[in-house]
Amino acid sequence: MTNKEYADFLLPNVKHTWEEYEAMYPERNLPEGAIVTRYAPSPTGLPHMGNLFQNFMSMVFANQTNGVFFLRIEDTDTSRTVENGIEKILDAIRPFGINFTEGAISETEYKGEYGPYIQTQREDIYKAYAKKLIEEEKAYASFLSKEELEEIRLKQSANKERLGIYGRYAKDRNLSKEETIERINNGESYIIRIKSPGSFFNKVRFNDLIKGTIEMPENDIDEVIIKSDGLPTYHFAHVIDDHLMKTTHVIRGDEWVSSVPKHLQLFEMLGFEPVKYAHLAPLTKNDNGTVRKLSKRLDPEATLAFYPENGIPTEAIMLYLATITNSNFEGWLDQNPNGKISDFKFDFKKCSSSAGTLYDLPKLYNISKNYISRLTKDEVYDAALDYAKNYDEELKDILEKYPDYSKEIFNIEREQKKPRKDYEKYSDVKGQIWYMYDELFEKYRDDAGYDFGSITDKDEIRNIINTYIDKYYNDNDDKETWFSNIQKLCDELGYASNMKDYKENPDNYKGNVADVSTVIRVSLTTRSMTPDLYELLKLIGKEKIKERFNLI
């Protein structure tokens, strides 16, 4: 029996040869230096912030070289695949503006010339290449049963040996074709393993684009390439797919670093050009002084749903991810406050090569706050409404009922050189402006409670606000007149109308202009901290101000 016939016997009914597959996946026509990279999730659960970070990085490197960033679903471990796993992945990352140039777009569809992009739909391809290895006597059928494997594992553990099928444990490695055929004909089940050409005593060196030069022992394990269900293992599928899909760079979590010797060996055995690797350390968090891994279980910010649920703008998240991708991004952004991420040149050398990348939510909020403060009133209105449509019906109703009025509220201290920074996320909006709407004011004012500050006597408070509204407040006053009226009110009632006088002779006064303003502000809003009082009063208008003052 020729090797070719033998390969056909071990893996029958394979539709195409590996040569045919080579022809079906031609080189890409891309500019020099273009990076082709991918996100290759397994549909075993929801992607998390670490995955988004990886996606962001992959996307910017592909974009800045006019390359390709594609999505491939790695679902060959069917026992771990969850229901609607692909849709769940797509839904979770959709809100973040990650653009895949090509790849899976649902369980059944994909775009691009290098598909299918779902590994279970590529079974024939992997087998074609496994047959190539069998023909070249670089792979073999292995009959080790579950029980035998377990026995080997226990023995290796007891002897403190490396785990795996290598050397004397690779018992079927030298079975003859005849013996193998006979056992198969007797109904024994088998899988395909490589005949690893490596030695544990040799070293393999490779350059990780982030971590630098890494040296490890060669792989000498007869890794499984085709499992008993006919599907490939991760290692084999990675090498075949990234070869055929013309991936240039694999950016992935650093839990895979230890597998690189296996992967480089497979590339070599198959006669493929290896990819370049960039392994990312996990995101970490400073938890009261202890730096630990960001955890989906402990940290809400580790899950992707957290961001849309809180209305954190995607643009701010992207800016933050850019700052943790390259340490010099932040300085660049300070120099170019209106700079776009796409204007910055990212460099693998500037990626953090330490054991973890610190993920700092307060810093993200700070970026977000600055970002929102620079938006126009219309942009904030639209974004807040978008958020509210999904997560806050009451806010949605009120924004839709009063669009122009709402925009005027958002416009307070906005669209100016130093805009006010009220919101770090759209879920802050209602809590900051509810008192501007009568419906919400009535509903929430009691719970909010009034804290008038240093002036506590109710009659005095009433006296201040009534005198103010009757004698000193006009909707049409400009800001200067408005303020001089507040000062007149102070003079009339025995409060210092400027702070300097007050500081010099506090005993001559009942209080000062700040105390009086607080009484007006709190009576109007319940809040002692608000945006510009003059603007609030004007927007609410004299009639309604009166009504609110009458409630005190």
Task: Pick the binder of ligand GLU from 18, 50, 74, 321 (CB under 6 A).
Answer: 74
Taking the complex as a whole, the smallest distance from the CB of residue 202 to ligand GLU amounts, in Å, to 25
Sign of CA dihedral 345, 349, 354, 356: positive
Using the rule CB under 6 A, give the single segment among 36-44, 223-231, 306-314, 406-414 that binds ligand GLU: 36-44
Q: Is 312 in the site for ligand GLU (CB under 6 A)?
A: no
**Complex with ligand GLU: residue 206 or 256, whichever CB lies closer:** 256
**Segment lying near ligand GLU (by CB under 6 A), choices 39-47, 149-157, 390-398, 436-444:** 39-47
- CB nearer ligand GLU, residue 238 or residue 521: 238
How many CA atoms are closer than 13 Å to the CA of 318, on its beta-carbon side?
A: 19
DSSP per residue, 306-366 = HHHHHT--HHHHHHHHHHHH-TTHHHHHHH-TT--GGGS---GGGS--SS-EE--HHHHHH
* Contact map string, positions 209 to 248, toward ligand GLU, x by CB under 6 A: -----------------------------x----------
Helices (H), ranges, 94-189:
123-135, 146-158, 177-185
Nearer to ligand GLU, 253 or 541 (CB): 253
- Interface stretch with ligand GLU, choices 202-210, 249-257, 306-314, 392-400 (CB under 6 A): 249-257
How big is the site for ligand GLU, counted in residues (CB under 6 A)?
A: 8
Question: Using CB under 6 A, which of the segments 40-48, 129-137, 220-228, 431-439 binds ligand GLU?
Answer: 40-48
**Residue 252 in contact with ligand GLU, rule: CB under 6 A:** yes
Characterize the bridge pairing of strands 68-71 and 36-39. parallel
Nearest distance from C-beta of residue 223 to ligand GLU, angstroms: 15
> What part of residues 157-196 is at the interface with ligand GLU (CB under 6 A)?
none
Residue with smaller CB distance to ligand GLU, 85 or 531: 85
Does position 41 bind ligand GLU by CB under 6 A?
Answer: yes
Q: Is 40 a binder of ligand GLU (CB under 6 A)?
A: yes
Judged by beta carbon, residue 55 or residue 526, the one nearer ligand GLU is 55
Among positive and negative, which fits the CA dihedral 363, 365, 367, 373? negative
Q: How far apart are CA 147 and CA 131, in angstroms?
A: 27
Look up tokens 């797919």; give the residue.
241
Contact 59, 91 (CB under 8 A): no
In angstroms, the CA 82 to CA 85 distance is 5
What tokens does 412 get? 């307070």
85 binds ligand GLU (CB under 6 A): no
The DSSP bridge pattern shows strands 191-194 and 139-142 to be antiparallel
Among 8, 16, 42, 82, binds ligand GLU (CB under 6 A): 42
Compare residues 45 and 356 and give the one whose CB is closer to ligand GLU: 45
**Which residues, in sequence order, are bridge partners of residue 206?**
214
The residue with tokens 């800045």 is: 64
**Would you call 98 helix, strand, or coil by DSSP?**
coil
Q: Site residues (CB under 6 A) for ligand GLU?
A: 40-42, 74, 238, 250, 252, 256
